[in-house]
Amino acid sequence: MLNRILIFLYGAASYALFLATFLYAVGFVGNFAVPKSMDSPAEGPLATALLIDAGLLALFALQHSIMARPAFKRLLTCVLPEAMERSTYVLASSLALLLLFREWRPLGGVLWSIEDPAGNMMLLAGFAFGWGLVLVTTFAINHFDLFGLRQVWRHLLGQPQQRLQFVTPALYRMVRHPLYVGWFFAFWCAPVMTVTHLFFAVMTTAYILIAIQLEERDLALEHPEYSAYRRRVPMLLPRFGRPRL
């Protein structure tokens, strides 16, 4: 029983760290309420800052992608209990992001600044919508499973782990990846677009587009019905006014 309690506490701590990291990320990208944000004063030579930032983004992308692959999950569960696998992924992702926040090197330079109040407000609304969509989407597909709490709770109760069925709730009937649509809004809706922010947005967008291909390949192998779903529902842009077959 003690072992099950410790695993549950591990999962709960990993989830708590994720929540703190998520809240910090909002302030980091939006440049408010955090000690060091994306557009803090530039530090050091531009070339050095670019290399450091690219390395931090690459580290997060590799961690996020490698640990999400089924082969790595199988390897990890040879070392750790199955109930800890998702929480370990969440913990590693949070630590990679916290390292990025700590070591990020702003590049300086403003590409555009929206002075019109209506335009400014519209972009801020898009920024808030993006973060909100990310959070809402996690609950649409089972928030607590996605972040490992469901697994450690079932383990605490002595229940076997159970794979979730493939479902397509409301948002997923419009596009296959509403979560990533939320990230695009969060990263690109900026009243002030700096060189730093543009670099971050371009790099994360490129990673997301690659990650989608890897994720969909795994989903098609795990869920036979995913191929038909992929043909029926667009990836990122909804088909307004078109009948769905």
* Angle at 61 (CA atoms; ends 59, 63), nearest 5 degrees: 65
- What are the backbone dihedrals phi and psi of residue 110, each rounded to the nearest 5 degrees, phi first? -110, 125
pLDDT by residue (tens digit) across 146-174?
Answer: 999 999 999 999 999 888 888 889 899 99
Please check whether residue 57 is in contact with residue 207, taking contact to mean a CB–CB distance below 8 angstroms: yes
List, in sequence order, every residue forming a beta bridge with 192; answer none if it has no partner: 113
Q: Is this structure's pTM higher than 0.85? A: yes
Q: Contacts from 230-238 at CB under 8 Å and sequence distance 24+?
A: 230/176, 233/168, 233/172, 233/173, 233/174, 233/175, 233/176, 234/175, 234/176, 235/175, 235/176, 235/177, 236/175, 236/176, 236/177, 236/180, 236/181, 236/184, 237/175, 238/174, 238/175
Express each pLDDT in 38-97 by its tens digit.
Answer: 998 887 899 999 999 999 999 999 999 999 999 999 999 999 999 999 999 999 999 999
Residue 22: CB atoms within 10 A of its CB come to 16
